[in-house]
């Protein structure tokens, strides 16, 4: 019984492997491929080349390489996602720092030599300290307010 099944399978495989493929062009210029030739047209026999059979070891190696490539790809996506999140966080911090620096410069420019609250204390800045703080605020604006 096993030999009969094996023989039938082998014959079926050989018949499929030896099947011919035909190619022809109809009146409209359409190219057609088929396993049976057209009844009323001239057809060309085409040889189909199949991929060579590979060993189990080769298949395992290719599968291993594909799995590694997939893992690398997933790792790259995770890294890019983390970098994007960090960039967004930095942009948010820069926006806040820009706003604070602009506000500080505005107050230092508008108020002149008045009292400033530093923590719980009030201080009167000298003109030199005021100018120095204004320059620091301008430097911070250049650093944090880039567009």
Domain boundaries, the chain: 1-49, 83-147
Statement: the pTM of the whole predicted model exceeds 0.75: no
3-state helix, strand, coil in the chain (%, to 5): 60, 15, 25
- What's the pLDDT at 21? 84
CA angle (30 as vertex; 24, 33 as ends), nearest 5: 40
pLDDT reading at 135 higher than 80:
yes
Query: Torsions phi, psi of 28, nearest 5?
Result: -90, 0
The conformational region for residue 82 under phi > 0 = left, psi -120 to 50 = alpha, else beta, is alpha
Answer yes or no: are the C-beta atoms of 130 and 114 closer than 8 Å: no
How does the average pLDDT of the chain come out, rounded? Answer: 81
- Cα separation, 117 vs 2, whole angstroms: 98
pLDDT reading at 119 higher than 80:
no
Name the band, by pLDDT with cuts 50, 70 and 90, for residue 79.
Answer: very high
- What's the pLDDT at 140? 94
- Cα separation, 129 vs 140, whole angstroms: 16
């Amino acid at each position: 019984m096993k030999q009969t099944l094996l023989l039938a399978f082998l014959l079926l495989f050989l018949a499929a492997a030896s099947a011919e493929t035909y190619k022809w062009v109809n009146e409209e210029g359409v190219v057609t491929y088929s396993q049976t030739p057209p009844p009323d047209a001239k057809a060309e026999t085409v040889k189909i080349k199949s991929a060579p059979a590979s060993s189990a070891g080769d298949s395992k190696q290719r599968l291993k390489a594909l799995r590694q490539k997939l893992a690398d790809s997933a790792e790259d996506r995770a890294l890019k996602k983390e970098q994007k999140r960090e960039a967004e966080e930095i942009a948010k911090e820069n926006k806040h720092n820009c706003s604070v620096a602009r506000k500080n410069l505005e107050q230092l420019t508008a108020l002149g030599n008045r009292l400033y609250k530093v923590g719980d204390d009030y201080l009167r800045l000298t003109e030199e300290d005021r100018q120095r703080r204004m320059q620091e605020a301008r430097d911070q604006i250049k650093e944090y307010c880039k567009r």
